[in-house]
Structure 1
Amino acid sequence: MFYLRLARGYRAPDLGRWLLTATAGAVVAGFLLRSLGRAMSDPLGTGDAVVRLLWCIPPLAAVAWFAAVAARAVPAQRPERITGLIAAGAGPARIRALIAGETALAGALGSALTLLVFLVLRNDIADAALAAEVGMGVALPAAAPVALLALVPLVAGVAAAAAVPVPEALPGRGPEPARHGFHVLRIALPIGLTVTGVALEAYGLRVGAAENTRLVRLPAGLGTTDLAALGGWAATALGLALLTGPLLAGAGRLLALARPTPLRLLAGRGLTAEARRLGPPLAVLALTLAVVLTVIRYWADTPGTADLLPVVEAGLLAGCAVAAVLARLAEIRTARQGVTDTLLGLGAAPRLLYGAVALRALTAGTILLVTGGLTALLGAATLS
């Protein structure tokens, strides 16, 4: 009943966050149930069941990450809701548990809908193409789907509980001092990873590397590649992703150099201030899109190698990344509302504020184009 009372005060962002979590949970539940159906249909001893379960880990991690980002934005977007809960006697642990329970409830609803569709398809409705996917004709153990589907709300709820910054939103506590810079190790580590990765990939793609016996067969029909090239690309992709935040902060500082205009000053200071919060979701989005575009290019050059399961998983990963970026942007917009109101009260033109937002977006897009494009280029070289 308490969750129903909270739902009565939902706004469009709350409903969107809840529905997106339920939808993503339903898709992941579909992957889990498909692996269960194939495990019941395939003969014993094939060993493919473990591989199919491993394919469910990336989308499950994507749902957990989106749940964490969305839950973190709740106290900033709905401060009156948090204040009301505190006034009613709820402490930080109770508030964190409520937000986690709300997220877990959305994941449970999506999983339940998928289970209903799964059971309906098993009732002699699925055609021959789906019979093996749902394990038609084989007795379904009652505990198996319940145990698998419990992973979705459990992982989403735990991720949401760990991400909610409740102490920052408690009344009477001043905001923690913002840290705009990055430690030297935070910058040196991704640079070292990027340089090492490029060197490893160059070694793996050297002339005569095709005769090397250390080849790795990639999943999803992506052929084989050299182990050094694959490891080098992975290190480079991780390094470029970790460099996104420092690059955003550096670009913001460059915008504010050399007697900047008010437009450049607002855009640069805002980008530097939000680089820590905006960097991780943008890095994940750029990395996801780079991998997806690389795989699509390989499949286009080698017809007949595409697999449906990785396509659906890639769509889910990209959707979770986009939704996480939107949630983080909404959180930042709410956090900067006081600064915006102050500037408008001092006589700043709305056109100036919109121009600063556009300049920040253009700068961030350029950085993502460079890091994501380099990741995709090196990935294409690895798969060629």
Structure 2
Amino acid sequence: MLALRLARGSRPLVQLRRLLVAAAAAGTGFLLLATVGHAAGHPTTAGDSLVRLLWCAAPLAATAQLAVSVARSDPAARLQRGMAAAGLGPFRLTLIAASATALTCLLGVLVSLVVFFRLRGDLGGSPTTALDADLLGAGHPVPFLGALMLLALVPLTAAGATAFSLRPRAGGDPRHGDHRPRVDTPTALPWGIALTAAGLAIEAYASRGAIPPGGLLPLPGRLIGSPPGVLAGWALSACGLVLSGPGLVHVCGRMLCSGRPGSLRLLSGRVLQQESQRIGRPLGVVCAVASGTYAAAKVYEASPTSPFGPLTGIGAVVVLACATVSALTAAVESRAARAHTTAALRRLGAPASVLYRAAALRTSALVIVLGPLTWVVAETATLPLVH
């Protein structure tokens, strides 16, 4: 009840972010329901339904990432003065944030449930012609309890990820009212690089003979028979990029501060080092999504056909939108965290142009480092698939 009251009293921008989380949950829930409908309409092809369910892991993970980013930027989830005296300590604030995330995602999956049954024609009328009736299993009964249990994955996963991300830590809570960030040096960069390399190696090994000449890596909605090893390789590579994000941002900051930096380079580098934990993970997600999008485009460009189905489009929109909104939310949160420092610089007489140039320098450094890396990973991932 407290989580619902806090959600109702939030600012319009916070409400907009929650609506975006609900929309992402609705898209992911619709894909899960489409998997159930396909399984109901094709009981003899359990393998195809399993492949469709595996492809739903990407939008599910993207939705959870967006939910975590929105929860971290929610003012109601930060520890303010006087809250502890009222019984709202870090642990209870974490539970409130997780509950609010679960409620938001629950709203989205309920909308997807209504839309799914409406498109199938189960709520009256004939099945819609916008989607192939075979994709939703129209005309075949869907186990309602099983559909609800599968839909519960969305709010449970998002709430669990939120609780884990915002949990109170022994070294201090990073959600104080003054937005003080953690300044720990990222240590997961070697592990992220190793995970990415392992994913590329697994994909290269599994793709030998797994895809026929001129064939494609099947996506849900039209094609079937995806090689599990290739999917596992892509997943490991994506996880490696996400894990490497904070370390790569910290490296960018170190590069700007190397040598004999001037005030502009020093200011930009220090900000990147300080904000690496906050913006690194969302940027890693953007790199992983961009790498996967580029690889998929290259693979399907090499094929004589382009069998992108409507469910593939829905999944791609959910993943791309969640990654973009998460990165923008992290950027806004980072800017709010530096508000006191920016105000202090302005009081010392720093012109606004210096702050803009520092922001442009930080952006340029990130693009110069992360752009080629993302392209190399994507290009390496497509080599065993298109040759």
Are residues 361 and 127 of structure 1, via their aligned partners in 2, closer, same or farther at CA, if it must alter by over 3 Å?
Answer: same
For residue 139 of structure 1, report the CA deviation from its aligned partner.
Answer: 3.2
Matching of residues 158-177 of structure 1 within 5 Å? 158-165=160-167, 168=173
Matching of residues 119-138 of structure 1 within 5 Å? 119-121=117-119, 122=121, 123-127=124-128, 130-138=132-140
- Whole-Å separation in 1 of the counterparts to 2:277 and 2:180: 16
Match of 2:73 in 1: 73
- Whole-Å separation in 1 of the counterparts to 2:86 and 2:299: 57
1:109 aligns with 2:107: yes
Which segment drifts farther, 119-128 or 265-274?
A: 119-128
Conservation of the 8 A alpha-carbon contact between 1:34 and 1:133: yes
For residue 46 of structure 1, report the CA deviation from its aligned partner.
Answer: 4.4
Q: How many residues align?
A: 372
Q: Higher helix fraction: Structure 1 or Structure 2?
A: 1
Match of 1:23 in 2: 23
SS at structure 2 position matched to 1:271: helix
For residue 338 of structure 1, report the CA deviation from its aligned partner.
Answer: 1.4
Which segment drifts farther, 85-94 or 282-291?
A: 85-94
Question: For 1:191-236, what per-residue CA distance to the aligned partner results, in whole angstroms no more than 9, with x for missing partners?
Answer: 55566777x599869xxxx9x6677984336999997x99887766
For residue 29 of structure 1, report the CA deviation from its aligned partner.
Answer: 0.9
Are residues 98 and 37 of structure 1, via their aligned partners in 2, closer, same or farther at CA, if it must alter by over 3 Å?
Answer: same
- Whole-Å separation in 1 of the counterparts to 2:136 and 2:45: 19
TM-score (norm 2): 0.82
Are residues 251 and 61 of structure 1, via their aligned partners in 2, closer, same or farther at CA, if it must alter by over 3 Å?
Answer: closer
SS at structure 1 position matched to 2:350: coil
Question: For 1:271-308, what per-residue CA distance to the aligned partner results, in whole angstroms no more than 9, with x for missing partners?
Answer: 12212322221112112111112211221231324232
Conservation of the 8 A alpha-carbon contact between 2:51 and 2:224: no
Matching of residues 269-308 of structure 1 within 5 Å? 269-308=270-309
The alignment's C-alpha RMSD in Å is 3.6
Conservation of the 8 A alpha-carbon contact between 1:223 and 1:383: no
Q: Which amino acid aligns with 1:18?
A: R
For residue 359 of structure 1, report the CA deviation from its aligned partner.
Answer: 0.7
Match of 1:331 in 2: 333
Q: Which amino acid aligns with 2:248?
A: L
Conservation of the 8 A alpha-carbon contact between 1:194 and 1:236: yes
1:311 aligns with 2:310: no
TM-score (norm 1): 0.82
Conservation of the 8 A alpha-carbon contact between 1:241 and 1:371: no
- Whole-Å separation in 2 of the counterparts to 1:338 and 1:67: 27
- Whole-Å separation in 2 of the counterparts to 1:154 and 1:314: 22
Structure having the higher Rg: 1
For residue 8 of structure 1, report the CA deviation from its aligned partner.
Answer: 4.1
- Whole-Å separation in 1 of the counterparts to 2:370 and 2:148: 41
Are residues 245 and 91 of structure 1, via their aligned partners in 2, closer, same or farther at CA, if it must alter by over 3 Å?
Answer: closer
Q: Which amino acid aligns with 1:118?
A: F
For residue 31 of structure 1, report the CA deviation from its aligned partner.
Answer: 0.7
- Whole-Å separation in 2 of the counterparts to 1:133 and 1:192: 38
Match of 1:368 in 2: 370
Are residues 84 and 17 of structure 1, via their aligned partners in 2, closer, same or farther at CA, if it must alter by over 3 Å?
Answer: farther
1:252 aligns with 2:253: yes
Q: Which amino acid aligns with 1:371?
A: L
Q: Give ranges in structure 1 of 5+ residues lacking alignment.
A: none
Are residues 51 and 331 of structure 1, via their aligned partners in 2, closer, same or farther at CA, if it must alter by over 3 Å?
Answer: same
Matching of residues 191-206 of structure 1 within 5 Å? 191-192=193-194, 200=201
Are residues 74 and 222 of structure 1, via their aligned partners in 2, closer, same or farther at CA, if it must alter by over 3 Å?
Answer: same
Question: For 1:83-127, what per-residue CA distance to the aligned partner results, in whole angstroms no more than 9, with x for missing partners?
Answer: 465454323332222211111111111111111112222234214
Are residues 41 and 352 of structure 1, via their aligned partners in 2, closer, same or farther at CA, if it must alter by over 3 Å?
Answer: same
For residue 170 of structure 1, report the CA deviation from its aligned partner.
Answer: 7.6
Are residues 78 and 28 of structure 1, via their aligned partners in 2, closer, same or farther at CA, if it must alter by over 3 Å?
Answer: closer
Conservation of the 8 A alpha-carbon contact between 2:245 and 2:284: yes
1:151 aligns with 2:153: yes
Match of 2:95 in 1: 97
- Whole-Å separation in 2 of the counterparts to 1:83 and 1:33: 44
Conservation of the 8 A alpha-carbon contact between 1:41 and 1:135: yes
Conservation of the 8 A alpha-carbon contact between 1:244 and 1:280: yes
Q: State the identity %.
A: 34
